[in-house]
Structure 1
């Protein structure tokens, strides 16, 4: 994913996807400029037509971004899950790695589901932040009752489910679809994978064109927010960045627990060994660029080269340790903006969907994984997706913790897998 740090081109071999990037600095500047212009416009009594034009431009850009979510998620779910299933067949090391990945994602999601509501109650969203929902339709955000939620898990018409952006039945369907592909004869499976590979690349090209004009869309949306909220918008963004980063910090610290417990590595030894990889992660915001440093860290810890050279490259491709925790944090923050209470059943569904999408995501730039990974979770939990168009502009800040947590956890999981495999003869 998403998430989600800037890993560049996705996957390897037949799973490779086109590489696209968001003009991060320019988009962030457009966010600040739009908010300032909106605040100034409100103070100087700018004519109403300026807000109407900004709303039109921002709304069109937002819709163009949203229209790619369903087909892109379908392609990435199928490709990513098939890749995981094939990897699990390689041997014991792969199965242990994937089991740890699942546990980490579920733990991160569960922590966020408990911690975020408590944090937002103790430190409420700043006043004026509701302007981030200015583009939200009135009927978005209705959370279903428990029985309705259970009934919605399976749709009799998958086309209708896609039209209604019903992410729960869609996710379940495509998980089953991916598993079924691995049971087909190889030639039939390859043809289906080729279709989803092409579909993913087409959607990425389209979303790349949309993101190329992100500064204009973000400026227009931010202008409307600035007009309505004034300086409260800056306070809300700072509040959001801090709280979202705290959820990633949990996963970052959990990596040390796994290294010390399952990896049987001293905390000081692990800290010293992983420090160079962390430095590269912070400077590049890229798990892929940190791979050589992670391999070096594994060598410093005395891990078998065969284990490290198998686990770490695979982890870079399919493992986003912080994704479930930090993606759910974004959804809970938007729910707080919209005044939505998330029921326990919906929270559990959010944890599962966040984990599945994260574990199935091939490497994508952070700006892409932010929308693709969080949008389906928000839709499944009955939370508006519109604020994502503005929050992606400040993702460059939480993304530091995403990359730091991902890299640290990759090394920790490698140490745990290596120690568990000690004494066996199977290298992978």
Structure 2
């Protein structure tokens, strides 16, 4: 069985086991307090499943900072002496911003048409507390690191990207024996980290199973039924954008076959779904984009880490639908100008957003405040956000790969033969 099928099997079994336990144990509303049910919940669900799942997530995050730093240094050092560095960065960032803006606009249009919040009963009380949102000025200042080691400790991806690029360019411009020795060292280190990624991928089916079994045993399917119209509106727009828009972009802007792209990105999207974290999926995304899709390391090492930070199409879609949902639920008409403000704010909010689970609710606070909607409305959707977060993370990482492929093709840095080879797949290699 291929690794992708093993992950898919683990995911399906995890969902089934989780739902069965949820039905047998009463879920979050009436958890067992004694007997076999308490033992199962304590030692299996909150014990074994949670331990294995959290270790799996931690092992993924373990590789994020070293992989991004080393890979970006290698890519920037190789490109540092070339004039195409600026063009490559401009194309990548421009595509990310355009895709996010379109994703928000598409989500608003679909939500206005479907009207998921038209018949919602507002609860009399809400326990959602809005987090403190940094100003745009502070966000721009925080992009440049004052202490690169602290940035790595805190996993501040934008700051790591800035430092890595500067470091790589400095290596390329140093020249001589020092430059050659450093390039050899970082290239060798990159090979070692990639081997660690390959080793970790073999453990993915077990981690995926435990994560989903724990999640669904806690949530169950009741939360989806309660907010079915909102939930399926977001899911519909996510699939429309993730398959329709991305597929069209690949075909129109690169002339490549989008079906091949989605087949090779299956395991990455399953990883993203299971972890609900773009950052935790970076090692798998980067390896797949380079090896399976044939994107040159110089492009992949720049676009993938950057995309995990600034390209949040799935999150932006949730914010667009959620804004319309909350406005309809409270009976507030924000008008065309309000929707345009949502597009602008959601796009800007995605830049610098950490690629970690649940961050969409934080940026949604900023979006709601920009158009005068009650932040307390987030409490209406918070029950299903964990499940939606998993789906939208899959869209996020697919968008990162789409941009990497398009930019690489335009820069003649894409191995088209490797891209079109259906048998060439990371999972066929032995760790």
TM-score (structure 2 length as normaliser): 0.54
- 5 Å-filtered alignment, 1:161-310, equals 174=138, 178=141, 190=146, 235-253=225-243, 254-294=245-285, 295-310=287-302
Structure 2 residue matching 1:132: 3-state secondary structure: coil
In the alignment, the residues of structure 2 paired with residue 133 and residue 235 of structure 1 have an alpha-carbon distance, to the nearest angstrom, of 21
> Could you list the per-position Cα deviations for residues 78-127 of structure 1 after superposition, in whole angstroms to 9, with x for gaps in the alignment?
xxxxxxxxx9x96322221110110011101111222211110xx6644x
Aligned with residue 346 of structure 1, among 338, 350, 364:
338
- Pair 1:236–1:393, CA change in 2 (3 A): closer
Name which of 339, 354, 357 aligns with 1:362: 354
Contact 1:312 1:410 in 2 (8 A): yes
Cα shift readout 1:308-341 (whole Å, capped 9, x = no counterpart):
1222122223322222221121111111110111
- Which has the bigger relative contact order, CA under 8 A and spacing at least 6? 1
Among candidates 95, 106, 109, match of residue 114 of structure 1: 109
**Structure 2: distance between partners of 1:234 and 1:326:** 15
User: CA separation in 2, counterparts of 1:411 and 1:423?
Assistant: 14
Q: Distance in 2 between the 1:307 and 1:173 partners? A: 29
Partner SS for 2:146: helix
Question: Secondary structure in 1 aligned to 2:227?
Answer: helix
Separation in structure 2 between the aligned mates of residue 288 and residue 423 of structure 1, nearest angstrom: 24
Contact 2:309 2:354 in 1 (8 A): yes
1:9-408 paired onto structure 2 within 5 Å: 33=28, 91-120=86-115, 125-126=118-119, 129-132=120-123, 134-135=125-126, 174=138, 178=141, 190=146, 235-253=225-243, 254-294=245-285, 295-364=287-356, 366-367=357-358, 369-408=359-398
> Is the 8 Å Cα contact of residues 357 and 373 (structure 1) preserved in structure 2?
yes
Q: TM-score, normalised by structure 1?
A: 0.54
What secondary structure, in the 3-state scheme, does the structure 2 residue paired with 1:363 have?
A: coil
Superposed displacement of residue 251, structure 1: 2.6
Shift in alpha-carbon separation, 1:132–1:299, aligned structure 2, 3 A:
farther
Given that 2:251 and 2:258 are in contact with CA atoms closer than 8 Å, whether structure 1 keeps it comes out as yes
Gaps of 5+ in 1: 1-24, 38-86, 138-161, 183-188, 201-231
Unmatched 5+ stretches in structure 2? 1-18, 32-75, 157-221, 415-431
Q: Distance in 1 between matches of 2:248 and 2:290?
A: 17
User: Which runs of at least 4 in structure 1 moved beyond 6 Å after TM superposition?
Assistant: none
* C-alpha displacement of 1:172: 5.6
Note closer, same or farther for the CA distance 1:337–1:124 as it changes in structure 2 (3 Å cut).
Answer: closer
Tell me which residue corresponds to 1:420: 410
Q: How many residues align?
A: 274
**3-state DSSP of counterpart to 1:262:** helix
Tell me: CA distance 1:300–1:135, structure 2 relative to 1, closer, same or farther (3 Å): closer
Distance in 1, matches of 2:277 and 2:28, equals 27
Deviation of the 1:233 alpha carbon: 8.5
Q: Shift of residue 298 of structure 1?
A: 3.8
- Distance of aligned partners of 1:32 and 1:130 in 2 relative to their CA distance in 1, 3 Å threshold: farther
Q: Distance in 2 between matches of 1:248 and 1:410?
A: 15
Question: Taking structure 1 as reference, are residues 293 and 363 closer, same or farther at Cα in structure 2, changes over 3 Å only?
Answer: closer
Q: In 1, distance between residues paired with 2:28 and 2:275?
A: 26
For residues 249-297 of structure 1, the C-alpha deviation after alignment (integer angstroms, 9 at most, x for no partner) is: 2331222222222233212221222122122222333323333332224
1:299 Cα deviation after fit: 2.2
